[in-house]
Amino acid sequence: MKNILVIHQSAELYGSDKTLLLLLTALDKTKFSSVVVLPFSGPLKAELEKEGIKVVVAPVLKLYRKIFTPKNMLQFFREIKTSIKELDTLHKEHKFDLVYSNTLAVLLGMIYAHKRKIKHIWHVHEIIVHPKPIAAIFPRLLKKFSDVVVCNSEATKNNLITRIPSLENKCVVVHNGLAPADNKINNEIKLKRTDLGFTESDIIITLVGRISRLKGHKWLLNTYAQYFSKSPLKILFVGSPVPGQEYYLGDVEQFIADNGITDKVKIIAFTRDLESIWALTDIAIVPSTEAESFGLVALEAMLAKKPVIASDAGGLKEIVVNDATGILVEASNEKKLADAILQLMENEEMRTQFGEKGYERAIVEFSLDKYIEGMSLLFTEN
């Protein structure tokens, strides 16, 4: 039995949260035992505990922009002391063989593994470009304080080794994976088009994800206002802002009101009932304005047999095959995005074909079994 201390940055159920839940749920419990440290309580904690996985709430030592102030640095060092004490108590009980840090955002795993001389696997789910000082720091931390660096895409790996080429010796690419939804769920769809004020003849384009600066909500809205406000195209946003960044949602709502499209754009908070969301969707869109490290939403849409329009950058290029499972578009280019939307709007057969091919690709290349096998091998060998 290998005992693993897992450190994660959140307790919600967005991309990296979801992949962690899938991983820990599917790991062979006769070979691996996990204890998870989260920064707060939330749906991820509840789901892990349903699976009998121990979860502890403690500071995970996030590195963030405003940390380099006297007050925040003092708080950071206080949290180190608190967290180390908590982990020592857990280590005494569980005798950890491995520390697994899931995402770059958490530094606790790095510090504890180094302090107690335990092997450290650091799983990178981010492509960090800005701010430049932070983007420069992380590859150096990975080089010094990890035994293995797991990258969720080739794009993620390349972003690191471009900065520090010698990191390649530590990097392993394991693509995220998902299983197709149980088709029985679709017989009990909870959300309908009429619930959103849409009709059966409308073409619905759906963006699932955090309402934030990088997810492309404004790019899509600008394109819509310029080219599609009088068309049967409707927009559905599914997601909530990061706590403390609610102003992004305010900006989106203000744009919608200012452009008189309140009856054409619907925003609903993040929901776990994505089967309903994809069932009423005609076109999925992942219009990230900066490179995504992977793009789990694109994979979810493909498993729901939906054509995907995505930014031609980062890990999305490894998931979506242009003109086969969807259309890749230059980031922030409104004309190119409009052309892609129009192409799929006007061609139902193309939407169906792309959806079918996307499903086939997802099943073969990005299966949950493949993801679990890759991670299990790393845990076994380290």
Cβ 208 vs Cβ 241: under 8 Å: no
Of 72-86, 134-148, 265-279, 297-311, give the lowest mean pLDDT range: 72-86
32-38, strands of its sheet edge to edge: 54-57, 32-38, 2-8, 98-102, 119-124, 148-151, 171-173
pLDDT band per the 50, 70, 90 thresholds, residue 189: low
DSSP code of residue 45: H
In terms of Cα–Cα distance, which of 127, 77, 125, 75 is closest to 101?
125
- Who wins on pLDDT, 78 or 235? 235
Of 36-50, 262-276, 278-292, give the lowest mean pLDDT range: 262-276
Determine the pLDDT at residue 184: 41
| CATH T-level fold of 2-177+367-381 | Rossmann fold (3.40.50)
Cβ 312 vs Cβ 330: under 8 Å: yes
Give the pLDDT confidence of 195-209 residue by residue, as tens digits. Answer: 888 999 999 999 999
Q: Could you tell me the residue ranges of all domains in the chain?
A: 2-177+367-381, 183-365
User: How many beta carbons lie within 10 A of that of residue 360, not counting itself?
Assistant: 13
Evaluate if residue 125 carries a pLDDT over 80: yes
- Those residues whose C-beta lies under 8 Å from the C-beta of residue 295, and which sit 6 or more positions away, are 286, 288, 310, 314, 315, 316, 319, 320
Instruction: In whole angstroms, give the CA distance from residue 236 to residue 44.
Output: 25
pLDDT band per the 50, 70, 90 thresholds, residue 28: very high
Evaluate if residue 162 carries a pLDDT over 60: yes
Give the pLDDT confidence of 43-74 residue by residue, as tens digits. Answer: 999 999 999 999 999 988 776 555 556 666 67
Cβ 109 vs Cβ 84: under 8 Å: no
How many helices and strands (H and E) does the chain possess? 14, 13
Extract long-range pairs of 348-356: CB within 8 Å, 24+ residues apart: 350/307, 351/282, 351/283, 351/306, 351/307, 354/307, 354/308, 354/324, 354/325, 354/326, 355/302, 355/304, 355/305, 355/306, 355/307, 356/305
Q: What mean pLDDT do residues 233-240 have?
A: 94
Q: Which two tokens stand for residue 210?
A: 């955090």
Amino acid present at 12: E
Determine the pLDDT at residue 130: 77
Determine the pLDDT at residue 187: 46
Evaluate if residue 155 carries a pLDDT over 70: yes
CATH class of 183-365: alpha beta
Instruction: In whole angstroms, give the CA distance from residue 157 to residue 287.
Output: 22
In terms of Cα–Cα distance, which of 332, 312, 333, 314 is closest to 129?
314
In terms of Cα–Cα distance, which of 22, 93, 30 is closest to 56?
93
Cβ 218 vs Cβ 288: under 8 Å: no
- Who wins on pLDDT, 78 or 100? 100
pLDDT band per the 50, 70, 90 thresholds, residue 236: very high
Q: What is the mean pLDDT of the chain?
A: 91
Task: Give DSSP secondary structure letters for 119-167.
Answer: EEEEEE-----SSHHHHHHHHHHHHHH-SEEEESSHHHHHHHHHH-GGG
Instruction: In whole angstroms, give the CA distance from residue 163 to residue 131.
Output: 15
Q: What mean pLDDT do residues 79-88 have?
A: 89
Judged on CB neighbours under 10 Å (0-12, 13-18, 19+), 320 is buried
pLDDT band per the 50, 70, 90 thresholds, residue 183: very low
Cβ 266 vs Cβ 236: under 8 Å: yes
Same fold? 2-177+367-381, 183-365: yes
Determine the pLDDT at residue 65: 58
Helix (H, G, I), strand (E, B) or coil at 173: strand
Determine the pLDDT at residue 134: 80
Determine the pLDDT at residue 171: 97
DSSP code of residue 180: P
